Chain A
Amino acid sequence: MRLIVPLQGVVQGRGGLFVGSLIPCCLFYFLQLYLKRRRSPPPPDSDSTELPRTSSRSSLFTRGNSIGRVRVSSRASPLAKPPDSPYYIGLDRVKTDPYDRVTNRDGIIQLGLAESTLCFDLLQRWMSENLMDSLMMQSDVDGGFDVSSIAMYQPFEGLLEVRVAFADFMSRIMGGNVSFDPSNMVITAGGTPAVEVLAFCLADHGNAFLIPSPYYPGFDRDIKFRTGVELIPVHCRSSDNFTVTVSALEQALSQARKRGSKVSGILFSNPSNPVGNILSRETLHAILSFAQEKNIHVISDEIFAGSVYGDKEFVSMAEVAASGDFDKSRVHIIYGLSKDLSLPGFRTGVIYSFHEDVVSAAKKLMRFCSMPVPVQRILISLLSDTRFIEEYMAAHRQRIRDKHFLFVEGLKQLGIPCAESGGGLYCWVDMSSLLTSYSEKGELELFEKLLSVAKINATPGTACYCIEPGWFRCCFTALADEDIPVIMERIKLLAESSTS
Chain B
Amino acid sequence: MGLPLMMERSTNNNNVVELSRVAVSDTHGEDSPYFAGWKAYDENPYEESHNPSGVIQMGLAENQVSFDLLERYLEKKNPEGSMWGSKGAPGFRENALFQDYHGLKSFRQAMASFMQQIRGGKARFDPDRIVLTAGATAANELLTFILADPNDALLVPTPYYPGFDRDLRWRTGVRIVPIHCDSSNHFQITPEALEQAYQTARDANIRVRGVLITNPSNPLGATVQKKVLEDLLDFCVRKNIHLVSDEIYSGSVFHASEFTSVAEIVENIDDVSVKERVHIVYSLSKDLGLPGFRVGTIYSYNDNVVRTARRMSSFTLVSSQTQQLLASMLSDEEFTEKYIRINRERLRRRYETIVEGLKKAGIECLKGNAGLFCWMNLGFLLDTKTKEGELALWDVILKELKLNISPGSSCHCSEYGWFRVCFANMSEKTLDIALKRIHEFMDRQSGF
Which residues of A line the B interface, CB within 8 A? 45, 47-51, 54, 56, 59, 61-63, 65, 67-70, 72-76, 79-80, 115, 117, 120, 123-124, 127-128, 131-132, 135-136, 144-148, 150-154, 189-190, 192-193, 196, 200-205, 207, 221-222, 225-226, 264, 292, 295-297, 327, 329-330, 338, 342-347, 355, 357-358, 361, 364-365, 367-375, 378
Contacts and interface: CB of A to CB of B under 8 A. Distances in A.
B321 A346 contact: yes
Given A75-B145, A123-B96, A373 B273 contact: no
Contacts of A358: 19, 23
Given A59-B272, A151-B293, A372-B293, 9 more contacts: A47-B311, A69-B273, A123-B96, A151-B70, A200-B20, A222-B314, A347-B134, A357-B24, A368-B315
Nearest to B18: A264
B92 interface: yes
Contacts of B17: 295-297, 327, 329-330, 355
A145 B307 CA distance: 39
B337 interface: no
Does more than half of chain B's interface fall in helix, strand or loop, or is it mixed? Answer: helix
Interface string B304-332: 11111011101111111110010000000
Nearest to B291: A153
A47 B319 CA distance: 21
7 contacts: A150-B292, A189-B134, A190-B317, A345-B320, A346-B319, A367-B137, A378-B321
A131 B324 CA distance: 14
Interface in B164-194: 166-167, 171
A155 B299 CA distance: 27
B344 interface: no
A146 B71 contact: yes
Nearest to A348: B319
Contacts of A144: 71, 75
Contacts of A76: 145-147, 308, 312
Contact of B67 (A147, A153, A222): A147
Contacts of B290: 151
Contact of A73 (B148, B274, B306): B148
Given A70-B273, A192-B315, A345-B96, A153 B303 contact: no
A490 to B, nearest CB: 24
Contacts of A344: 96-99
A154 B20 contact: no
Interface of B: 12, 15-24, 28, 30, 60, 62, 64, 67, 70-71, 74-75, 79-80, 83, 89-90, 92-99, 102, 128, 134-135, 137-138, 141, 145-150, 152, 166-167, 171, 209, 234, 237-238, 240-242, 269, 271-274, 276-277, 289-295, 302-308, 310-312, 314-322, 325
Contact of A369 (B98, B303, B315): B315
Contacts of A190: 99, 314, 317
Contacts of B273: 54, 56, 59, 61, 67-70
Contacts of B320: 345-347
B371 to A, nearest CB: 17
B293 A226 contact: no
B271 A63 contact: no
Contact of A226 (B20, B23, B135, B171): B171
Contacts of B60: 153
A196 B310 contact: no
Given A68-B240, A370-B294, A361 B315 contact: no
Given A79-B308, A193-B315, A226-B171, A74 B149 contact: yes
